[in-house]
């Protein structure tokens, strides 16, 4: 497994996003299957595991605490604050007191004394980013967390935050079909020495050999609210998928491996964070670290995405208002 750096710690170039073991994509796997995936990731050399207070409203952190507390030395633990459930509703709250409370609850659920990398899951735009990052800096000073991360923020917000306390990692969506980070924040991370962690690097299942059937989504699958997964947009996007299949065949790998290898080639500061509930897909994803793409194939991929643009926005308008990332016109 290739390695990359977050702060001064080496981690695997491919991490594991743990959200779908408890949250967001329909009925989650059984506890036994989730345990097999988590332990299987460690056995494959995956050393960055990512969770959040939001995922399963605490259930995902409890899962990691139960399964992995005895393996704490084997991986970098990342979690997030700033979004949680209150009275059955999803709440974004970046006030310092709330951040401190959320951290204490997460530490208990994760069965650990310290979280290696703690992200502000969303910037609460009612609270200056300096105040939220200041609260996270206090948690570093108290030994509750080791490093600070931010999620779904712009380059300008990242710079403001980094001026208060060093930011170790920025996490946002980045893949062949979501290129927004290339506007500014990818280069800002490179300039500032900040790791860029790409979530949904497989396009929430689209960048795989078998793209999802939108008609089979369960009622609580978050993709139901995402415009690019609407039935009409997916008709157009399937044409793009067919062309990706041809390029993957040319490269001698799966579409998922092609997408992950392309992403890792975007710079030594880039880390991919796919999630899965399948041991077979876990092994397939790990194999992407060994896929070498030629300059010609990388150019062909970029040209394809320019000539066959993705149909549909990544978020609906309500969700879009919650984030701070740069957007294409």
Catalytic residues: 55
Closest by CA position to 241, among listed 277, 265, 205, 215: 205
| CA pair distance 234, 312, nearest whole angstrom | 9
Q: Which residue shows structure tokens 């010609």?
A: 296
Closest by CA position to 189, among listed 172, 205, 209: 172
First to last CA, the chain: 37
Residues in the chain: 329
Closest by CA position to 260, among listed 283, 288, 294: 288
| Joined tokens for residue 250 | 């040319």
Residue 48 main-chain phi, psi, to 5 deg: -125, 115
CA 9 to chain centre: 19
| Joined tokens for residue 235 | 């008709």
| CA pair distance 308, 267, nearest whole angstrom | 24
């Amino acid at each position: 497994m290739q390695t990359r750096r977050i702060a001064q710690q080496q981690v695997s170039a491919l991490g594991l996003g743990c959200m779908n073991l408890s949250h967001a994509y329909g009925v989650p796997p059984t506890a036994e299957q989730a345990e097999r995936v988590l332990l299987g990731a460690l056995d494959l050399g995956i050393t960055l595991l990512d969770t959040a207070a939001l995922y399963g409203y605490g259930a995902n952190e409890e899962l990691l605490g139960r399964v992995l507390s005895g393996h704490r030395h084997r991986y970098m633990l990342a979690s997030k604050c700033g979004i949680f459930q209150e009275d059955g509703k999803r709440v974004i709250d970046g006030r310092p007191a709330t951040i401190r409370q959320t951290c204490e609850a997460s530490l208990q659920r994760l069965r650990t004394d310290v979280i290696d990398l703690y992200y502000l899951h969303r910037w609460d735009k009612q609270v200056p980013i300096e105040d939220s990052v200041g609260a996270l800096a206090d948690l570093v000073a108290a030994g509750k967390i080791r490093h600070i991360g931010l999620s779904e923020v712009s380059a300008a917000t990242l710079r403001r935050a980094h001026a208060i306390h060093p930011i170790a990692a920025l996490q946002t969506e980045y893949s062949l079909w979501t290129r927004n980070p290339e506007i500014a924040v990818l280069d800002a991370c490179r300039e500032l020495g900040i790791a860029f962690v790409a979530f949904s690097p497989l396009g929430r299942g689209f960048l795989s050999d078998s793209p999802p059937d939108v008609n089979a989504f369960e009622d609580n699958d978050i993709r139901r609210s995402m415009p690019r997964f609407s039935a009409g947009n997916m008709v157009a996007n399937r044409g793009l998928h067919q062309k990706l299949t041809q390029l993957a065949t040319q490269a001698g790998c799966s579409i998922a491996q092609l997408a992950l290898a392309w992403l890792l080639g975007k710079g030594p500061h880039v880390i991919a964070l796919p999630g899965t509930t399948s041991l077979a897909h876990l092994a397939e994803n790990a194999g992407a670290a060994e896929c070498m793409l030629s300059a010609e194939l990388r150019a062909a991929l970029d040209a394809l995405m320019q000539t066959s643009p993705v149909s549909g926005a990544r978020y609906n308008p309500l969700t879009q208002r919650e984030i701070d990332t740069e957007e294409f016109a």
